[in-house]
């Protein structure tokens, strides 16, 4: 069924430059508008009319979860950082002056966590394979260059550095020629995740130019497309001029005998509630493709078990499979969104208990950290010691997958790098196997200075390396 009409909404980006043209934004209190304007010099800000008109409850702004999800705010920055940007703007600083202040702040926000820019990029024919990350044996991530933006930006985005014009912070591949060479030489790779940004900001013809060559590679059996368009611009599947072409492309993939999953980034049940969002899922599924749901747990947005239970229940009813609950990553304005691991696990458990077996396909809470995806299994007391029970769901070394390990219980810990081994051990087992573990800067809570964390030894039980 073709649903495109002459009156179908047309996508238009709303940014710091034009958001005050929207009546709802113009009516915001002055201090809220000012805070959006200042913060968006540092953090990427983009939304659109669908999000503004259909997803945000303007009677509840600024607390509304979708407003929090898409509008940058002053409190997402450290106070001193906010003030320094505000100051340079008030002084009428030149573009260069502002850029210098902003760049300093951004570089302290751990722009590429978990070794993305270095440790995950494979080499092919003697040089790095641009626009590709290959961290886990079977699965490869591919970043087509035209898909490195989104229909709206999430304020918590862990790939925010892609969107702020930091040239050395971009992953992108202009064409898949070198990728296909690499895949042919590495038949172990069965899954390709096309990701971004959001690959579905691309015209269907562009997406096809990246995707179709994968269908010539027999060893590639599963194709995933990571996207937020199901939530931020569901018209992409329903009434955009090339929406039907997109569905035909999906059908081509499934007709080839491959599994195609749309990895839908849903952070709140409201994103599933509109007729067009539901029509999008229905149309995707009509092609033989699947829809899966994933998101981090985020303070101010979805840090409530009922929200998750409702999202999973609604997703299951519509045909979207609950897949992952993530822990907020240690990048960007993470201090605004993160929760203690113990609270994140409580939210997961309380939500999980409320839903039927069909929604218990979900995994988590999971940290996508340097060594792999680490699930928090609980915080039991073992031999008189309260610990975190942890387990790799995915790992750089496949031998680590499924292996349980334990960390000292820490009620304030928000990330793997905050944890220390339990039971008097000096190191986690995977640290012995790591040849050169990444040591990335991590902002200390409530601190304006960054510390380059040194490797901890039994003699120096100092802070943990970040993004472990
Ligand atoms: S959709 Fe994904 S890549 Fe885009 S802004 Fe949100 S989290 Fe970032």
pLDDT tens figures, 7-56: 689 999 999 999 999 999 999 999 999 999 999 999 999 999 999 999 99
CA dihedral defined by 9, 14, 17, 19, rounded to 10 degrees? 90
Angle at 250 between CA 244 and CA 251, to 5 degrees: 90
Condensed to tens digits (0 to 9), the pLDDT of residues 365-410 reads: 999 998 999 999 999 999 999 999 999 999 999 999 999 999 999 9
Q: Which segments of 298-448 are extended strands (E)?
A: 320-327, 363-368, 372-378, 381-382, 385-395, 404-408, 442-443
Is a pLDDT exceeding 70 seen at residue 169?
no
Contacts of 346 (CB under 8 A, 6+ apart): 305
Q: How far apart are CA 173 and CA 181, in angstroms?
A: 14
Instruction: Count CA atoms closer than 13 A to 106's CA, side-chain side.
Output: 26
Q: How far apart are CA 123 and CA 138, in angstroms?
A: 16
Ligand 1 centroid to Cα of residue 157, in Å, is 5
Percent of the chain at pLDDT exceeding 70? 88
Quote the longest CA-to-CA distance of the chain.
70
Q: How far apart are CA 206 and CA 145, in angstroms?
A: 10
Contact 467, 438 (CB under 8 A): yes
- The reply to whether omega before 193 is within 30° of 0 (cis) is no
Is a pLDDT exceeding 50 seen at residue 441?
no
CB burial of 134-145 (b: ≥16 within 10 Å; e: otherwise) equals bbbbebbbbbbb
User: Which ligand 1 atom lies nearest to the CA of residue 44?
Assistant: 5
Is a pLDDT exceeding 90 seen at residue 194?
yes
Q: Is 46 in the pocket of ligand 1 (CB under 6 A)?
A: no
CB burial of 308-344 (b: ≥16 within 10 Å; e: otherwise) equals bbbbbbbbbebebbbbbbbbbbbbbbbbbbbbebbbb
Which pLDDT does position 164 carry in this prediction? 78
Straight-line distance from the first to the last Cα atom of the chain, in angstroms, rounded to the nearest whole number = 48
User: pLDDT higher for 406 or 171?
Assistant: 406
Ligand 1 pocket, mutate which of 51, 133, 153 (most atoms under 8 A from CB):
153
Phi then psi for residue 442, to 5 deg, are -130, 135
Angle between helices 341-354 and 305-318 (to 10 degrees): 50
Q: Is 159 in the pocket of ligand 1 (CB under 6 A)?
A: yes
Q: Is 265 in the pocket of ligand 1 (CB under 6 A)?
A: yes
- CA 289 to chain centroid, in Å, comes to 21
Using alpha carbons, list the distances in angstroms from residue 30 to 15, 36, 83, 300. Answer: 17, 10, 17, 21
Ligand 1 centroid to Cα of residue 226, in Å, is 9
Read off the tokens for 300.
């101010």
Ligand 1 centroid to Cα of residue 160, in Å, is 7
pTM, entire model: 0.89
Which pLDDT does position 62 carry in this prediction? 94
- Closest residue by CA, ligand 1 atom 6: 154
One DSSP character per residue, 301-328 reads TT-SHHHHHHHHHHHHHHTEEEEEEEEP
Which pLDDT does position 190 carry in this prediction? 98
- Closest residue by CA, ligand 1 atom 1: 228
Q: Is 263 in the pocket of ligand 1 (CB under 6 A)?
A: no
Which pLDDT does position 82 carry in this prediction? 96
Using alpha carbons, list the distances in angstroms from residue 456 to 159, 399, 415. Answer: 28, 24, 16
Contact 467, 330 (CB under 8 A): yes
Ligand 1 centroid to Cα of residue 333, in Å, is 14
- For the ranges 111-125, 210-224, 242-256, 334-348, which has the lowest average pLDDT? 111-125
Read off the tokens for 467.
């993004």
SS3 (DSSP) at 440: strand
Contact 50, 272 (CB under 8 A): no
Residue ranges of domains in the chain: 13-107, 369-468
**Across all residues in the chain, what is the average pLDDT?**
89
365: closest CA among 386, 387, 385, 391?
Answer: 391
State which H helix or E strand residue 178 sits in: helix 177-185
Percent of the chain at pLDDT exceeding 90? 77
Q: Which segments of 245-368 are extended strands (E)?
A: 259-265, 290-297, 320-327, 363-368
Q: Is 370 in the pocket of ligand 1 (CB under 6 A)?
A: no
Ligand 1 centroid to Cα of residue 229, in Å, is 10
Q: Is 328 in the pocket of ligand 1 (CB under 6 A)?
A: no
Q: How far apart are CA 107 and CA 104, in angstroms?
A: 5
Total Cβ atoms within 10 A of residue 302: 25
Ligand 1 centroid to Cα of residue 153, in Å, is 6
Is a pLDDT exceeding 90 seen at residue 434?
no
Tell me which DSSP letter residue 463 carries.
P
State which H helix or E strand residue 418 sits in: none
468: closest CA among 421, 419, 404?
Answer: 419
């Amino acid at each position: 069924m073709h649903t495109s009409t002459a009156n179908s909404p047309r996508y238009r980006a709303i940014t710091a430059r034009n958001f005050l043209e929207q009546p709802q934004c113009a009516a915001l209190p002055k201090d809220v508008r000012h805070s959006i304007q200042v913060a968006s010099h540092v953090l990427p800000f983009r939304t659109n009319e669908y999000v503004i008109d259909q997803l945000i409850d303007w009677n509840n702004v600024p607390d509304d979860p979708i407003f929090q999800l898409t509008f940058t705010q002053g409190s997402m920055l450290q106070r001193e950082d906010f003030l320094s940007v505000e100051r340079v703007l008030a002084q009428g600083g030149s573009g260069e002056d502002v850029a210098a202040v902003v760049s300093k702040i951004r570089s302290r926000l751990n722009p590429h966590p978990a070794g993305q820019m270095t440790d995950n990029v494979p080499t092919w024919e003697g040089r790095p394979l641009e626009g590709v990350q290959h961290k886990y044996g079977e699965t490869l991530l591919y970043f087509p260059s035209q898909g490195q933006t989104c229909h709206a930006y999430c304020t918590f985005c862990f790939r925010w550095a892609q969107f702020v014009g930091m040239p050395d912070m971009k992953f992108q591949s202009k064409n898949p020629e070198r990728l296909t060479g690499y895949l042919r030489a590495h038949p172990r790779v069965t899954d390709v995740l096309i990701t971004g940004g959001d690959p579905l900001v691309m015209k269907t013809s562009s997406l096809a130019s990246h995707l179709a060559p994968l269908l010539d590679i027999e060893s590639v059996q599963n194709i995933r497309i990571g996207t937020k368009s199901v939530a931020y611009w569901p018209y992409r599947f329903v009434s955009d001029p090339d929406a039907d072409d997109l569905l035909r492309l999906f059908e081509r993939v499934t007709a080839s005998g491959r599994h195609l999953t749309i990895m839908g980034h849903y952070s709140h049940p409201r994103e599933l509630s509109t007729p067009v969002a539901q029509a999008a899922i229905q149309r995707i599924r009509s092609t033989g493709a699947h829809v899966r749901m994933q998101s981090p747990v985020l303070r101010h947005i979805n840090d409530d078990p009922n929200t998750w239970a409702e999202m999973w229940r609604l997703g299951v009813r519509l045909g979207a499979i609950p897949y992952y609950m993530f822990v907020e990553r240690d990048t960007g304005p993470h201090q605004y969104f993160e929760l203690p691991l113990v609270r994140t696990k409580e939210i997961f458990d309380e939500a999980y208990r409320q839903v039927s077996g069909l929604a218990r396909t979900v995994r988590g809470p999971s940290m996508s950290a340097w060594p792999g995806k680490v699930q928090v299994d609980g915080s039991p007391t073992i031999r008189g010691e309260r610990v975190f029970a942890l387990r790799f769901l995915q790992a750089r070394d496949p031998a680590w997958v499924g292996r349980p390990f334990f960390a000292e219980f820490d009620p304030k810990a928000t990330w793997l790098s905050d944890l220390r081994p339990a039971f008097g051990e000096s190191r986690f087992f995977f640290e012995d196997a790591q040849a050169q573990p990444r040591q990335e800067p991590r902002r200390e809570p409530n601190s304006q200075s960054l510390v380059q964390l040194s490797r901890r030894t039994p003699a120096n039980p100092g802070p943990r390396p970040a993004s472990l």
